[in-house]
Chains A and B, each alone.
Chain A
Amino acid sequence: MADYKYDHKVINELVEGTLEWYQLKNMMSSHKDADRFKVYREVMQERVSWDDPILLPLGLHLYIVLKENGDRIVKCDCGHEFCDYQENWKVHANIFVRDDEEKMNEIYPVLMAPDPEWQVIREYYCPSCAAQLEVEAVTPWYPVIHDFEPDIDTFYKDWVKLPLPEVKSK
Chain B
Amino acid sequence: MAKSQILAIDAGGTMTDTFIIDEKGEFVVGKAQTTPKDEHIGLMNSSRDALEQWDTTVDKEFPNLLAGVYSGTAMLNRLVSRVGLRVGLVLNKGTEDMHRMGRGLQSFLGYSYSDRVHINTHHFDEPLVPRKWTVGVTERVDMFGNVVIPLYEHEVEGAIQKLIDEDVEAIVISLLHSYTYPDHERKIRDIATRMINEQNKNIKIFATADYYPVRKESHRTNTTIVEAYAAEPSRETLANLDKALRESGTDFNLRIMASHGGTISIEANELARTCVSGPIGGMVGAKYLSDNLGIKNVACSDIGGTSFDIGLITQGDLDIESSPDMARLVLSLPLVSMDTTGAGTGSYVRIDPNYGNLTLGPDSAGSLVGVCNPDSGIETVTVSDCHVVLGLINPDNFIGGTIKLSREKAYQAVKEQVADPLGLTVEDAAFGVTELLESQLKNYLESMILGKGFSPSQYACFSYGGGGPLHTAGYTKGLGFEDILIPAWAAGFSAFGCGAADFEYRYDKTLDLNLAEKATEQEILAAGKELQAAWDELKGHVGDEFKKNEYTGDDVKYRLFFRMQYQGQLNDLEIEAPISAFKGVSDYNTLVKAFEDMYTRVYAKSALSPELGYSITGAIVRGVVDVPLPKIPQEPLSSPKPPEVAFLGKRSVYWDGEWIQADIYEMEKLLPGNKIGSLSIIESTATTLVIPPGFETYLDENRIFHLKELNK
A positions within 8 Å CB-CB of B: 1-4, 21, 25, 28-29, 31-34
Contact = CB atoms under 8 A, between A and B. Distances in A.
B118 A31 contact: no
A127 B55 CA distance: 85
Contact of B121 (A4, A29, A32, A33): A29
B294 interface: no
Given A1-B380, A2-B379, A3-B379, A31 B123 contact: no
B470 to A, nearest CB: 25
Given A1-B380, A2-B379, A3-B380, A31 B353 contact: yes
Nearest to A29: B115
Given A4-B353, A28-B115, A31-B352, 13 more contacts: A1-B350, A1-B353, A1-B380, A1-B417, A2-B379, A3-B379, A3-B380, A21-B123, A28-B120, A28-B121, A29-B121, A31-B350, A31-B354
Contacts of B417: 1
Interface in B498-516: none
B112 interface: yes
Interface string B353-383: 1100001000000000000000000011000
B114 interface: yes
Interface string B231-252: 0000000000000000000000
Q: Which of A1, A3, A25, A28 has the most CB of B within 10 A?
A: A1
Contacts of A32: 353-354
Contacts of A25: 121, 123
Contacts, number: 31
A56 B353 CA distance: 22
Contacts of A34: 353
26 contacts: A1-B350, A1-B380, A1-B417, A2-B379, A2-B380, A3-B379, A3-B380, A21-B123, A25-B121, A25-B123, A28-B115, A28-B118, A28-B120, A28-B121, A29-B112, A29-B114, A29-B115, A29-B118, A29-B121, A31-B350, A31-B352, A31-B353, A31-B354, A31-B359, A32-B353, A32-B354
B125 to A, nearest CB: 10
Contacts of A28: 115, 118, 120-121
Interface of B: 112, 114-115, 118, 120-121, 123, 350-354, 359, 379-380, 417
A61 to B, nearest CB: 22
A114 to B, nearest CB: 24
Contacts of A4: 353
A33 B352 CA distance: 10
Contacts of B354: 31-32
B35 to A, nearest CB: 28
Contacts of A3: 379-380
Nearest to A28: B121
Contacts of B123: 21, 25
Nearest to A34: B353
Shortest 8 CB-CB distances between A and B: which pairs?
A34-B353, A28-B121, A2-B379, A29-B115, A31-B353, A31-B352, A25-B121, A3-B380
Contacts of B118: 28-29
B217 to A, nearest CB: 27
Nearest to B353: A34
A33 B353 CA distance: 8
Nearest to A21: B123
Nearest to B114: A29
Contacts of A1: 350-351, 353, 380, 417
B360 to A, nearest CB: 13
Contacts of B352: 31
Contacts of B379: 2-3
A162 B200 CA distance: 73
Contacts of A21: 123
Contacts of A29: 112, 114-115, 118, 121
B361 to A, nearest CB: 11
Nearest to B121: A28
A29 B380 CA distance: 16
Nearest to A33: B353
Nearest to A27: B121
B80 to A, nearest CB: 12
B273 to A, nearest CB: 29
A150 B275 CA distance: 54
A33 B121 CA distance: 17
Nearest to A32: B354
A98 B374 CA distance: 64
Q: Which of B112, B121, B351 has the most CB of A within 10 A?
A: B121
A31 B352 CA distance: 6
A4 B354 CA distance: 13
A51 B229 CA distance: 56
B183 to A, nearest CB: 40
B318 to A, nearest CB: 32
A170 to B, nearest CB: 37
A25 B116 CA distance: 12
Nearest to B417: A1
A9 B688 CA distance: 44
A28 B119 CA distance: 10
A1 B350 CA distance: 8
B306 to A, nearest CB: 15
A97 B114 CA distance: 40
Nearest to B416: A1
A28 B116 CA distance: 12
A132 B112 CA distance: 37
A1 B363 CA distance: 14
Contacts of A2: 379-380
A28 B123 CA distance: 12
Contacts of B380: 1-3
A25 B125 CA distance: 13
Contacts of B114: 29
A32 B350 CA distance: 12
A31 B380 CA distance: 14
A29 B352 CA distance: 12
A31 B118 CA distance: 13
A30 to B, nearest CB: 8
B652 to A, nearest CB: 30
Nearest to B379: A2
Nearest to B115: A29
B121 to A, nearest CB: 5
A34 B355 CA distance: 11
A157 B336 CA distance: 55
A33 B350 CA distance: 12
B362 to A, nearest CB: 8
A32 B354 CA distance: 8
A21 B123 CA distance: 9
B231 to A, nearest CB: 26
Contacts of B121: 25, 28-29
Contacts of A31: 350, 352-354, 359
